A and B are shown apart, each in its own frame.
Chain A
Amino acid sequence: MDNNQALPKKKKSLVPKIIIIILCVIIALPILMVGLSFIGRVAPDSVFPEEFYLYVSVPDTMRLVKNVVRHEALPDIMALSELAPLISVFNQIRNSGVTENRLVRMLAGQRLKAAILPEERMLAVWDTGILSPLLRVLPTVAKRLNVPGLSYVQERGRSRFEFRLDDGGVFFIGNHRNLLVFSNSLAVFESVVNDATRSGGAGPGTFHSRNYDIALLLSPHALLNILESGETDPQMLSALSLLEFSGKVEVSLSVMPNQLNLNLLAPLGTGNDDLRRIIERNSRVAPLLSIVPWDAQYMTLLAAGNLQELLDGVSAISHGTPAGVELETTMRRANSAARMTLRMSLDELLFSWTGSQFAVYGLEGRPHPVFAVEIADEAKRREVFDRAFRTVFLSENIRLNLDGNRIPRIQVPGFLNALLSLLGADIPSPFYAVHNNYLLISESAESLLAAINAIRRNEVLPRQELWRTLSQDRTGPSSIILFYSLDRSLPFFLRGNNEMTAILRLYRQGLVRVSLENSVLNLTLSIIPGVGGGIVPVPGYPIDLTSPGRGTPGNRLLAVSPGRNPRLLVTRGRDVLSINPLDRSIRELRDFGSPHATLYTIPKTLRHPAAGEVWVVDSFGHVNLVNRDMESAHGFPISTGIRLSAAPEAWGEKLFLSSEDGSVYTVDNRATVSLWKSFSSALRSPPSFLNFNNRTFVGIYPKDIIFGEIFILDGTGNPLPNWPIHAPGIAFGSPLLFSARYPGTQARFFAAFITQAGVLTVYTEAAEKLPGFPLELDGVFFLQPVFDGENLWIIESEGTLYHITLNGEVFSQKVPRLSVREEGYIMVSDNELFFTGAGNALHGYSLHFNSLYGFPLPVWGRPVIGDIFGSREREVAGVGMDNRLYMWQFRQERRR
């Protein structure tokens, strides 16, 4: 008995133990794996040789990806560059949220190092961190994958992957302890994976910058090659030839959602005495900055030496260039002229009293800049000015009293000015003021006074919010400061015409600071796109759509597969243009159909959206089915012989063609033409369609002035019960079909129809009129209404916008400068209303009758409004009467 009782107990104790053992294994295995990953770890930078052209370091790859994807200006950058096709990839990454996943960031956020070595060899190394034990199973996994070009090689006891490119190049991939290694050179690859063969050494060196997302070390030779290639300024080249980079140049980049910070560190040396004096002077904090008014929109400040030293430096750089010859000549002439007219050399006139800080800045709303010069010796300055004004060539006019402030002016005496103007010479007559120990000069007394008043009130630039954002509240020692806003000025380094300058110009405001310490040049560039939201032009637009002899573009723009390899379609004479909005390339279908016929394009809906097929039809019944590159489908084009009485329409997989004899035909993608339905009168507008509750509804208005009828049909062409009904008058367009929740009911089908005279009726599926209808609205109506999900909107011919509830309540507002005829268009997008009329203006209104900021826009006809790029921003595209394709984007408000 006891034995029988003992046996079950034994069975019970085993099961929990097994479970516990399994749990321990499950828990212990990852811990063991993580522990193993720490054994024998190799630092990524230790495997790189000391000699390289370029060395790249990414401290956290996932952080870099996340910051790049979240960077607000990224879509604009991609739109400009050859990276445009990658927009969808970045959007997918952003939308997937993978960069926000903590586990992914922990596992994949490791260090990445790469280098370009001599003889065009490259090496990249990714520290897999705690994933390193998994590298051992990589060969097994890779063998099961069938990647074209990838092969697994075992040789001399070691294994690696080889990836062969189409051009014959080979990449070698393998692991070494915790490192995943890539290289295009077998020797380099083996030097990493084989501890014995690696030469050892100090490696590329460390970075001085902190908190960067990506950093580069450039060898001086590589930097010079980059700077000397392309459109480099001759003066820059001359400066480079005089400078020596005594060590590697470090460039680091930090990417923030709405700011980019770039930092460059370069150890400098020179054999030129003039430049050495500048380079070897350590930068100091420039007190002049504290007297620049805070409404300065651009500023250049120099604190690198006194005037003589700066001129000597410029002269040294310009020596041997055409500009240098001109500078020397100008300086000689200026010196001679100063001696002759003012009895003073330039040395005495300028250098004897000026300090080492100079600035020029422009104030908001004022065209004339203000110059500021530090006065090192005020007594000397006064003496120099007095002596100059005592000559016959210069005088001081102190008659101006501006708002209680006397503002002196340096001017040429009247008789001399008259003589000079006869000779065509126009000598400026600036106003000046001395404030503290600075001389302020400007052509505008008003600007000068505004600057002085700002200083008096301590409304100065370092307190300005934009400055603080760009400088991150760290305005340390600087030799040169350049603060700019592209709305007012274009810095010299943005004047080029290459990809880099085009990208940098997307950032409207920036701050450049150059400092020198122990002969190391430190340059920082902080740039922001600029504040504000609303509607902003998309870079690269507008595009001119004209082509000599090809006619003018139509005004009806359509989109194919927006967000997924999108295209915009528009006709031009007998051509159809398919425009890729990302890279702005255009494919054309030329000379389609009959001369003098009207040409139509309709996107084919939508079972296979990726195909992006488009119907192309002319009013004489020629039909083509093309892909987004305008290539005809098999069996097309065809000639149906149908004389169109209305624009064609597409629904399902079919094209609907309305004929002058009252028949409606369909064409399918097998090029089969079938009679769908016949009516006693021709349709003058295409049918309207709606899918609701798994049923298809078709609205048709055969336009008969005596016996006008409205039909609601099912998908096979059979009228619904109680249809057709008598139309209450002649009208334009086809009935609007929509579904809505009528108060107290579930969502139902409705049809709305308005006559030219303004009789508006809303019908149920059973052809009953909703209570409160028909309504008689004032005016003449060329367009049928649209539905916003709750209410109807209609635009009248003289510009009155009507809002009608399903209860029959009417609200209206007159839109200025709007008349609407048959070419008008109205649509609802994202709870906003858009319409065009007889003019080059696209109006945008909220559903509360408020005009949207930035509207009207200069396009006409039918625009495209939606997420065209797939970037989760909404775009507006349209054709203007100037024959250009425009595009704007609705931006969220950017705040500083």
Chain B
Amino acid sequence: MKNQNAKTFFLIVVFCGAILGFSGCQTLQRDIIASVADEETHAKLLELEELIVRLDNAPASRQNTAQARQQVTALRGSVVNSAIDGILTAWSGQLSLMEGRASDARRDLQRSQSVSPHNVPAQVLSFRLERDLPERLAMIDRSIAIERSSGELFVERGRALFEMNRFSESVAAFDTAFVLLVAKPFYEDVYRAQRDNAWELRSLEQTVARRTMDIVLQPEITWRDLIEITQSETDLLRFMTAGRNFSSDTLFAQLLDRGFIPRTQDATLTEWPGTRPAPTDVVLRAGAAWLLWHLNAENRANRDLLTRYSTRFATMTNPRSPILDLDIHSPFVDSILGCVEFGFMFLPDGRNFMPHERVAGADFLAMLRRL
């Protein structure tokens, strides 16, 4: 009996061992079939990169990042390549950062750097995790010193410099990036607007006030805005302020009373209306020309400039306006012709002044600089 029990026990052990052994073999048989990253993989990576880069312009939400996450996961399982694994992990970290999960992003960054040191997406993630702007810029410049041909790093440089109000340098970085990233045009699609903003702001000092920046970036400005940047960026109103800070509305009233601001911006009218404009009225090109020309005359202490062209027309037989959409009898004729002749303003299509078009903040700043 004892022998029988021992035998049975032995058989059970052997049988279990065989099962385990068989299972072990099965485990061994579960190979990872993989391939070297091929063209198809690289195409998918590019598609994923575009998706993630475009998310920079989209509001951060899990819904937006969900599709990108799915693609990251799918790609991870199919390719054995530590370089690609590192990139995918870094992108996963960027998605986490977009979702507001910085600690997950840091974890992904560490993992990405361990499997594929110095991969560019990991570097980008490390920059974005760094909150101190000067330190971030230093990190970027150290990377660029090694990877001079990486447009992605120059994009980050452009972004960092923009946040530091170093707008000229930001333009330089973005323009370099777009040339390097000509094979990935989606970068320019996404970051062109920021680059153009940097261009508009390029003449502003690094210490420029946020309010001024906001005005300059507006596609249209009011009289209040116009007076504000004229006062902050130039000395053209010093004759009225004696160097003191006046509120924009106070200056508006004074400028209106002294005729520096026209009572109407309708260049087709030949008589002033009875209504008064308001500081919140949107500035049109005709109104900007009027103010600039009057400031120019004041600046040169030459009030003859205010009738420079109308007096000449008065002496001519059959005078014709050199600008197609400007009547020689318009009260704006001297201002508009003067601004164009002196180069403060241009003819947008080479022939018409377009007096009723709205003035963007950046355009008005450029006009002020030419004065």
Contact = CB atoms under 8 A, between A and B. Distances in A.
Asked if chains A and B come from one complex, the reply is: yes
B80 A706 contact: no
Nearest to A780: B350
A406 B340 CA distance: 76
B186 interface: no
A757 B352 CA distance: 9
Interface in A678-709: 681, 684, 703-706
B81 A446 contact: yes
B347 A730 contact: yes
Interface string B94-120: 000000000000000000001011110
B169 interface: yes
Interface string B202-214: 1000000000000
Interface stretch (B33-41, B123-131, B222-230, B273-281): B33-41
Interface string A433-461: 00000000001111001100000000000
A705 B322 contact: yes
A78 interface: no
A144 interface: no
Contacts of A2: none
Contacts of A758: 350
A660 B301 CA distance: 13
A366 B235 CA distance: 59
Interface in A822-844: 822, 838-841
Interface stretch (A264-272, A572-580, A876-884): A876-884
Nearest to B174: A840
Contact of B309 (A552, A706, A779, A883): A706
A703 B34 contact: no
A882 B341 contact: no
Nearest to A645: B342
A780 B349 contact: yes
A399 B30 contact: yes
A357 interface: no
Most-contacted residue by chain A among B188, B313, B350 (CB, 10 A):
B350
A399 B322 contact: no
Interface string B117-154: 11100000000000000000000000000000000000
B125 to A, nearest CB: 17
A755 B36 contact: no
Interface in B337-352: 337, 340-343, 346-351
Interface in A728-756: 729-730, 732, 755-756
A402 interface: yes
Contacts of B309: 705-706
Contacts of A203: none
Interface string B48-89: 000000000000000000000000000000001111000000
A706 B32 contact: no
A400 B35 contact: no
Interface string A230-261: 00000000000000000000000000000000
B312 A443 contact: no
Tell me if A's interface is mostly helix, strand, loop or mixed.
loop
B342 A684 contact: yes
A880 to B, nearest CB: 5
Contacts of B323: 705
Contacts of B83: 366-368, 444
B90 interface: no
Nearest to B182: A816
Most-contacted residue by chain A among B28, B81, B175, B235 (CB, 10 A):
B175
Given A402-B34, A780-B348, A839-B171, A367 B179 contact: no
Contacts of B35: 402-403
Given A443-B82, A444-B82, A703-B341, A840 B32 contact: no
B91 interface: no
A225 interface: no
Given A858-B176, A880-B172, A704 B118 contact: no
A757 B175 contact: no
B341 A756 contact: no
B313 to A, nearest CB: 8
Interface of B: 28, 30-37, 80-83, 114, 116-119, 168-169, 171-173, 175-176, 178-179, 188, 199, 202, 235, 300, 309, 312-313, 319, 322-323, 337, 340-343, 346-351
- Nearest 3 interchain pairs by C-beta: A757-B350, A881-B172, A840-B175
21 contacts: A367-B116, A368-B83, A398-B28, A446-B36, A446-B81, A703-B343, A705-B322, A705-B337, A706-B319, A756-B350, A757-B349, A758-B350, A779-B350, A780-B349, A817-B175, A817-B179, A840-B175, A841-B179, A858-B172, A858-B179, A881-B171
